[in-house]
């Protein structure tokens, strides 16, 4: 397997919400007692609503010949899987809302991840934006927002930017996207998450 393919699998967008949440938990000076005492439940909900159930839904769509493969190379196939993923994430947000309601950053971060998915679904009706870079941009946006508010994350931001650059290069090398699709994906993910955290 090519290195660019390995990077694309390891840094798949489906893993980005739970990665961003984990980094936030470690970075925030205070996350609240309810979050601490229910952390296992939150991770379970995230695992189910952002990874397992979306994947199972996509496999179902593949069986029904509505989607050709997990990679969804044809951007016109992406709308339904992305909407289903967003719905599962909305359900996940509903399940953990009472736990994270007093942790503004975690709450906004989760909501912004859902918004990014809906944006991706809309754009995918007419253009093949990079879902990988939407996810990577979202993670960098989360770290950037938290760093502006609380500081201490410069090293993490630099590392995440480097990884995003490697991922973007991998997507181009795989001929999955062109430069515009990669840059647009990163910028939208970054702007939605960072603006959400900083202004809401």
pLDDT of the residue at 12: 93
pLDDT of the residue at 4: 86
The pTM assigned to this predicted structure is 0.94
pLDDT of the residue at 32: 84
Task: Kindly compute the dihedral angle of the four CA atoms of residues 200, 86, 67, 3, in this order, to the nearest 10 degrees.
Answer: 50
Query: Which of 79, 82, 103, 78 has the alpha carbon at shortest distance from 93?
Result: 103
The C-alpha atoms of residue 191 and residue 195 are separated, in whole angstroms, by: 6
- The residues near 84 (Cβ < 8 Å, ≥ 6 apart) are 54, 57, 58, 61
pLDDT of the residue at 33: 86
pLDDT of the residue at 1: 61
Other C-beta atoms lying within 10 Å of the C-beta of residue 189: 32
Q: Convert the pLDDT of each residue in 173-187 to its tens digit.
A: 998 899 999 999 999
Residue ranges in the chain modelled with pLDDT below 70: 1
């Amino acid at each position: 397997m090519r290195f660019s393919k390995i990077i694309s699998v390891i840094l798949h967008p489906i893993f980005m919400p739970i990665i961003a949440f984990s980094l936030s938990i470690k970075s925030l000076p205070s996350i609240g007692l309810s979050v601490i005492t229910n952390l296992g439940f939150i991770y379970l909900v995230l695992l189910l609503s952002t990874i397992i159930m979306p994947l199972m839904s996509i496999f179902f769509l593949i069986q029904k010949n509505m989607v050709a493969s997990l990679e969804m190379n044809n951007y016109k196939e992406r709308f339904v899987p992305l909407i289903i993923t967003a719905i599962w994430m909305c359900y996940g947000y509903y399940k953990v809302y009472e736990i994270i309601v007093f942790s503004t950053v975690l709450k906004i971060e989760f909501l912004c991840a859902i918004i990014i998915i809906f944006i991706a679904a809309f754009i995918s009706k007419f253009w093949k934006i990079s879902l990988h870079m939407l996810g990577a941009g979202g993670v960098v946006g989360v770290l950037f927002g938290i760093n502006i508010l609380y500081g201490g994350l410069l090293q993490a931001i630099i590392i995440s930017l480097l990884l995003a650059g490697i991922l973007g290069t991998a997507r181009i090398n795989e001929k999955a996207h062109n430069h515009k699709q990669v840059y647009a994906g990163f910028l939208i993910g970054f702007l939605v998450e960072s603006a959400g955290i900083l202004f809401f």
